[in-house]
Chain A
Amino acid sequence: MSTEQFYNALRRGFAGSVPHVKELGIELSHADARSAEGRLPYRPEFLGDAEHQLIHTGVVTTLIDSVCGVALIAHIGQPTRIATLDLRVDYLRPSRPGKDLVCRAECYRLTDQIAFLRASVWQDRADEPVATSLAAFMRTGKPGDPAQKSGLR
């Protein structure tokens, strides 16, 4: 499979292969070696404060974890087993109902075993993020496996 075919398969397979991503309705709008972007259309069930009409920050966190995972696999460029080690999210401003959430994530450092990612989430404008995040992932395949070698470019 060529790299381009792999990205296409990743984009198509994302929602279909991850039940909770399908449940929430996250759509993968972009994935390549540099970054991935996912979009989550609004649903009233996502509210965390019904009275003040604010989206629950857990929805934002789930979107970030999902898009970071895709961004890492796209960065490596081939199917890889990965696991989130840790994730930190800063909630910069409230997320408003009725609007999609968009997340862009990128892997900025990849080693044989560990990957470091950053992500940003916004609604109206990319330069007014509702959240920013840093995450570390582990590549859970066997160390030293040739398939595990760096896909760094």
Chain B
Amino acid sequence: MSASKMEAARRLAREQRDCGALLGLVPYAAYIGLRIDLADPAAPVLRLPYKPSLIGNTALPALHGGVVASFMESAALMHLLLMLDEQRVPKSIDFSIDYLRSAHAEDSYAACAVERLGRRVAQVQIRCWQSDPARPVALARAHFLLGSL
């Protein structure tokens, strides 16, 4: 069932810009509230709408660092599901994040670039920003294992 279900979800996203079924394959991404903007189908923008439960520091206030990281990991995963023709959700091998400034209590955005695509491993760069795209709040990179069944 899996391949056809993923194919159907991907087709719905690519042809109708409806990412609901694709997000259904990754429950945690839906749980934190991740959204996908496919205005430019070749360059998806992932959005994390602000909600109070994402706060890590109430004094600043700032989003939890783990939220920023897991949003960026999820963004990379959704980017791969959209851009490649994988038959299952890729497995994370490793993830590394640099925090450049604190993330405010507002919507966050992420864009990804697959810098190396092999038969078995993809290397993805992820950039996260808030109100000003020129001032990223964090940069990250990740390796994913592809094609495993």
Binding site for B on A (CB under 8 A): 17-23, 44-52, 54-59, 61-66, 69, 83-91, 94
Q: Are A50 and B69 in contact (CB under 8 A)?
A: no
Q: Decide: A58 and B69 in contact? CB cutoff 8 A.
A: yes
* CB of B98 closer than 8 Å to a CB of A: yes
> By the criterion CB–CB under 8 Å, are A57 and B65 in contact?
no
Flag whether B92 is at the interface (Cβ < 8 A). Answer: yes
Contacts A19-B53, A58-B71, A65-B69 known; A46 to B31 CB distance under 8 Å?
yes
Residues on B lying within 8 angstroms of A by beta carbon are 2, 5, 24-29, 31-32, 52-58, 63-67, 69-71, 73-74, 77, 88-89, 91-99, 102
Question: How far, in angstroms, from A40 to B104 measured CA to CA in the complex?
Answer: 25
The verdict on A57 contacting B95 (CB below 8 Å), with A19-B52, A20-B56, A50-B25 known, is yes
Known: A57-B95, A59-B28, A85-B99. A65 touches B66 (CB 8 A): yes
Contacting A50 at CB < 8 Å: which of B27, B53, B57? B27
- Provided the pairs A47-B27, A49-B25, A50-B27 are in contact, do residues A94 and B55 lie with their beta carbons within 8 angstroms? no
**Chain A CB within 10 Å — which of B26, B65, B73, B97 has the most?**
B65
Could you tell me the distance in whole angstroms from the C-beta of A83 to the nearest C-beta in chain B? Answer: 7
30 CB-based A-B contacts, threshold 8 Å = A18-B55, A19-B52, A19-B53, A22-B53, A23-B53, A45-B27, A45-B28, A47-B27, A48-B77, A48-B92, A49-B89, A50-B24, A50-B26, A50-B27, A51-B2, A52-B89, A54-B89, A56-B29, A61-B66, A61-B70, A62-B67, A66-B56, A85-B98, A85-B99, A86-B96, A88-B96, A89-B96, A91-B92, A91-B94, A94-B91
CA distance A66 to B57 in the complex (A): 11
Q: Please, how many angstroms separate the alpha-carbon atoms of A55 and B73 in the complex? A: 13
Compute how far the CA of A83 lies from the CA of B68 in the bound complex, rounded to whole angstroms. 13
B55 contacts A20, C-beta separation under 8 Å: yes
Contact between chains at A17 and B58 (CB < 8 Å): yes
Among B29, B69, B71, B77, contact of A87 (Cβ-Cβ < 8 Å): B69
Asked if residues B28 and A65 are in contact (CB atoms below 8 Å), the reply is: no
Kindly identify which residue among B27, B57, B58, B73 contacts A44, using a CB–CB cutoff of 8 Å: B27
The distance in angstroms between the C-alpha atoms of A64 and B64, with both chains bound, is 12
> Can you name the residue of chain A whose Cβ is closest to the Cβ of B55?
A19
Cβ contact of B73, chosen from A18, A22, A58, A84, cutoff 8 A:
A58
Measured CB to CB, the nearest residue on chain A to B92 is: A57
Contact A86 B88 (CB under 8 A): no
A63 to B5 alpha-carbon distance, docked (Å): 31
**Residue in A57, A61, A86 whose CB lies within 8 Å of B98:** A86
Using Cβ atoms and an 8 Å threshold, which residues of chain A touch B74?
48, 56, 58
Given contact pairs A49-B26, A51-B25, A87 touches B65 in the complex (Cβ within 8 A): yes
Task: Decide: A19 near B56, CB < 8 A? Known: A57-B73, A62-B67, A87-B65.
Answer: yes
